[in-house]
A and B are shown apart, each in its own frame.
Chain A
């Protein structure tokens, strides 16, 4: 019986020739990523070693990455102290894939990992962040875990008791209409599947719309796969994956790729024709509450956020700038921009994209998670409505349970910034 991409990958990482859905494996971990919650991982890691008489040493410092992004620069002394504790640990353990608060190498973890070539096809990647699914865009089996699980990984170098998940094949055909993007596709898919519909399963993306999609777009699909409950979202690697790693991630050596078996068995197949897709909006307070834009257009918004690990890449900022250039953000609406990394920030700076956004009235913030998790940089007031290119609209998400968050693509966000209400981006240019 043929294997899906996830089955094949997990078999390889576990030193087996075959893996079937439900098999329990202990795959080797190629990359273990944490951010500020590394402070808790350190605490749990040290607790594991207590009483063993062993020196607390991570299994391999080169397989651990730590990126500061959730609250940068620190918003409180408590965060600053957590960050200091992590810096000390990083130095003591010799962890080199460490990205501090810096304008040259810093950024959001789910952009830093791809753009530095840390993630390759066939890897098992775990992260103490639910959006670790992002890295499936490069053909890695990547998933979120809790801090104690990560402490165990740091100790043993493998992840215990992984059940091989069933795979939902998502076949996406057709050409994206103008004004419709990968974000609209994934919102549509989550609406179809529901917020728990892919729980304990993975998405495997296929079809000509995926083959023609840039890695940037694939990262959006895999980033939000977790919003349908999926353990991981996977794009079997191809020539575009190799191009991205070579040209954009500085990977000099050849990258080997493999795909699922032609006779792989899927739990089910979902087929989507994007040529008929409209811009999509996820309404409060669940990501699967998705409607075509026509049903919500005209809704007034006070805050618009473009950026984040979902949609803060260069093409996202370019799509927004092309709509906002020479225009003006509506009075009563504030537009906040969060590039996904400082590399992207600099590219957008040099190309004039940031100049155009700022001239339109946007506030360009430093790369980081910012208001998406509601810690700082852009909380909502009571009763305010936000439209965001981020990935979650849960109650309390932008720092205020009395606020509302709607989710959309960067183009929809930009078109809406001009009018101050949810606006269809088709024909906005």
Chain B
């Protein structure tokens, strides 16, 4: 359960080139990638870097969020600011990497929200407190629950490694 404010509203097919432009791909470490989050959207990137955006804030996106390249920087840069992604649906590799790194993602096929709206994410639905509408959440793939419960793929794999 959380109460994020919508800090960015995006359309469909937002690619990883928008989230983390290819020219910054030589920067790989999760501790260093946040500076380039949405680097070509200067205003939003500036607000992130100036810490004007509270941890837990939401980006609301349309269909196919995170499509394109497998670059994990696109996930780690958002995780670095503890942003929450509420999208109509999420491209496969991005979804998997988000689960692996523990980025907060919510798949909400009918979500309607504008920048500035206050959301409340509760069991099974997103409540838009500004518009007073609620939208059902699609559960994450059941198969990934063990990774989520372990706190990400690194601790999960470490546990399997220890058991070997």
| Interface, chain A (partner B; CB < 8 A) | 24, 36-37, 39-40, 43-44, 47-52, 54, 70-71, 76, 78-79, 82, 127-130, 132, 144-149, 151-152, 155-156, 160-161, 163, 195-196, 199-200, 229, 231, 286, 373-375, 392, 394-397, 399, 401
Contacts and interface: CB of A to CB of B under 8 A. Distances in A.
Contacts of B142: 24
Contact of A43 (B29, B75, B152): B29
Contact of A148 (B13, B25, B100, B141): B100
Contacts of A78: 26-27
Contact of A375 (B23, B92, B96, B156): B23
Interface string B26-54: 11110000000000100000000000000
A37 B28 contact: yes
Contacts of B63: 196
A138 B14 CA distance: 31
A277 to B, nearest CB: 25
A196 B17 contact: no
B31 to A, nearest CB: 10
B71 interface: yes
Interface string B54-98: 000000000110011111110100000000000001011100110
A55 to B, nearest CB: 11
7 contacts: A44-B154, A129-B70, A152-B157, A161-B147, A199-B89, A399-B23, A401-B40
A144 B93 contact: yes
A396 B13 contact: no
B1 interface: no
A273 B12 CA distance: 30
A290 to B, nearest CB: 14
The 7 residue pairs across chains A and B that have the minimum distance between CB atoms: A146-B97, A196-B64, A40-B28, A373-B22, A394-B15, A24-B143, A146-B72
A49 B63 CA distance: 37
Interface in B101-155: 101, 141-144, 146-147, 152-154
Contacts of A51: 158
A160 B152 CA distance: 13
